[in-house]
Amino acid sequence: MSQSNRTALVTGASAGIGAAFARHLASEGYSLLLVARRAERLNELAKELSAQHDVRCDVFAADLNDPSAPAQIMAFAQEQGITIDVLINNAGLSGKTAFADTPWTTLAGEIQLMVTALTELCHRVLPGMQERGWGRIVNLSSLAAFSPPGASLLYTGIKSYVLNISQSLDMELKPQGIHVTALCPGFTRSEFHDTMGTRDAANKLPAVLWQDADDVVREGWQAVMKGKPVCVPGVVNKLVASSVRPLPVGLQYHLGNKLNPFKE
């Protein structure tokens, strides 16, 4: 099966790494099912990519904080006759307020979005991939998964889960022709910090720590196609990940508490 007969589902596709994945996959001839909350942004991107690369681009506006969203996405795909050969689980966010001061509904939304929905979409696309004997799944983890935990943040724990479950799935599914990669970027130029209200803190970080979304996507896609279960893009990020992991748990805790750039 050629790329022109394959379709990629990209969540969080309206901006940042998600939009960069959509552009990269379209340039390689993949049809697209773009998912995010902002329908207008999705439609603009779909129109752009269809015209530029002559690929089919379907759009489904959904909020993955809604527990029913994964089933709705897959029902839409079935109605449109779309088979999902590539899944890019990109949608994400990070809280910035103290755990005890954050409403449970907000915390539950983070877990639903980045743990439950991500895992459910993996589970829902697998039967078709297994039947066809081919599939690619990229789950957006983070350099934070290698880093010491940060005060008050669910984000580090969630991204550690994504790192671990991606490796577990890859172990199970690779013999069936399905590759799963945890993509673990560091600081990436996108709207993420504007949306989270952490732009001022992010701007204080050294320029050497930042990557462009296109570079992150290029490395991540090469990794999943080569069957690498973990991808830490960028030389600086690789150095950070390799230097932090060997540290004792107690020291990681201390560093996470003292060096968190978003701690007020």
**Hey, which residues are catalytic here?**
155
Distance between CA atoms of 82 and 111, rounded to whole angstroms? 28
**Tokens in use for 142?**
């983070």
Residue matched to tokens 């779309």: 82
Residues in the chain: 264
Does the CA dihedral 255-261-263-264 come out positive or negative? Answer: positive
Q: How does strand 7-11 pair with strand 31-36?
A: parallel
Report which of 176, 170, 163, 166 is spatially closest to residue 241, judged by C-alpha positions: 163
Helical pair 155-173 and 117-132, crossing angle rounded to 10 deg:
10
Spacing of C-alpha 102 from chain mean position: 24
